[in-house]
């Protein structure tokens, strides 16, 4: 199985995703939030690029979620903290979500055969889903403003390591960046929270009052829920 890892959205080329599985990663925090919302019973999360598009798509019973530069969008029901998307708040509801980086990455991947949302909290489940789909796979690290973010790279390394474990080492082939990220993950796996807290985005989250988000988003393999894009919304894979 061949898996290419791309460092940020700016380096991703939509036409190269044809006939492939794409796993979009935005650990802090979009994909972690989408996973959490679906875990807690949301009937679907619609990822969109812009605030205007989110407002246009929202129907009477929908919930609006999103952020710009870590801040909740005025008039929206939620920001981008996974801790906001509780079962009581989202069960049975459709959520329209727009974020600075993660939802843009999902939109950029729509030409792929399948688009999955990966994070540290569902790393092994993402690996299993990619294997089951039996396609060459591209892991897209969302990054921040088209600049690489280490927490996304570490998550890519986690998924690669899980695939190698599940398939057997000789059957997992990746690019040089993927090899480097797997090495980063193996170095950091015993102290993931501390490593991610030391990253640029981890520091920013702590300064902005989101330390609990960093802690949650650093927990490995917390859930088997893997969001997959069906038509215009993310739903649990295998539902």
Per residue in 36-75, pLDDT tens? 999 999 999 999 999 999 999 999 999 999 999 889 999 9
Q: At 13, phi and psi to the nearest 5? A: -120, 115
Helix (H) or strand (E) holding 54: helix 51-57
Cα(64)–Cα(87) distance, rounded to whole angstroms? 16
Structural domains of the chain, ranges and CATH numbers in brackets: 2-224 (3.90.1560.10)
Cα–Cα distance between 93 and 43 in angstroms, integer? 6
Query: Which residues of the chain carry a pLDDT beneath 50?
Result: none
Rounded to whole angstroms, the Cα distance separating 87 from 92 reads 9
Contacts of 100 (CB under 8 A, 6+ apart): 67, 68, 69, 144, 145
d(CA 196, CA 124): 19
Q: Angle CA(229)–CA(98)–CA(32) in degrees, nearest 5? A: 65
Identify whether the C-beta of residue 186 lies closer than 8 Å to the C-beta of residue 161.
Answer: yes
* Strand ranges of the sheet holding 2-6, from the earlier edge strand across to the other edge: 71-72, 63-68, 94-98, 44-47, 233-236, 227-230, 114-118, 21-25, 137-141, 2-6, 173-174
Q: Specify the pLDDT at position 184.
A: 98
Residues 159, 130 contacting (CB under 8 angstroms): yes
- Select from 39, 36, 95 the least CA-distant residue to 213: 36
Query: What's residue 70's pLDDT?
Result: 86
| CA contacts within 13 A on the Cβ side of 174 | 25
Lookup: tokens for 222: 């917390």
What pLDDT score was predicted for residue 149? Answer: 98
Other beta carbons within 10 angstroms of residue 56's beta carbon come to 10
In sequence order, the β-bridge partners of residue 23 are 116, 139
**pTM exceeding 0.95:** yes
Q: How many residues does the chain have?
A: 239
How many of the other CB atoms lie within 10 Å of CB of 92? Answer: 9
User: Which pLDDT belongs to residue 43?
Assistant: 97
Q: How far apart are CA 142 and CA 229, in angstroms?
A: 16
Q: What confidence score (pLDDT) does residue 239 get?
A: 63
């Amino acid at each position: 199985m061949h898996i290419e890892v791309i460092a940020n959205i700016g380096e991703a080329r939509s036409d190269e995703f044809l006939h492939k599985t794409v796993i979009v990663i935005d650990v802090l925090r979009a994909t972690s939030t989408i996973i959490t919302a679906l875990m807690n019973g949301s009937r679907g999360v619609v990822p969109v690029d812009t605030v205007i598009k989110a407002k246009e798509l929202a129907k009477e019973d929908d919930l609006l979620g999103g952020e710009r530069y870590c801040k909740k969008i005025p008039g929206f029901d939620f920001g981008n903290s996974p801790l906001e998307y509780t079962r009581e708040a989202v069960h049975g509801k459709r959520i329209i979500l727009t974020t600075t980086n993660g939802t843009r990455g999902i939109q950029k991947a729509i030409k792929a055969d399948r688009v999955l949302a990966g994070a540290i909290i569902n790393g092994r489940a993402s690996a299993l889903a990619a294997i089951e789909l039996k396609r060459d796979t591209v892991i897209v690290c969302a990054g921040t403003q088209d600049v690489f973010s280490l927490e996304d790279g570490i998550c890519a390394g986690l998924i690669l390591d899980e695939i190698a474990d599940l398939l057997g080492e000789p059957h997992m082939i990746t690019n040089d960046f993927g090899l480097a990220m797997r090495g980063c993950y193996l170095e950091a796996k015993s102290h993931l929270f501390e490593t991610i807290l030391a990253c640029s985005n981890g520091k920013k989250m702590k300064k902005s009052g989101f330390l609990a988000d960093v802690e949650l988003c650093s927990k490995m393999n917390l859930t088997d829920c893997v969001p997959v894009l069906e038509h215009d919304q993310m739903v649990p894979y295998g539902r």
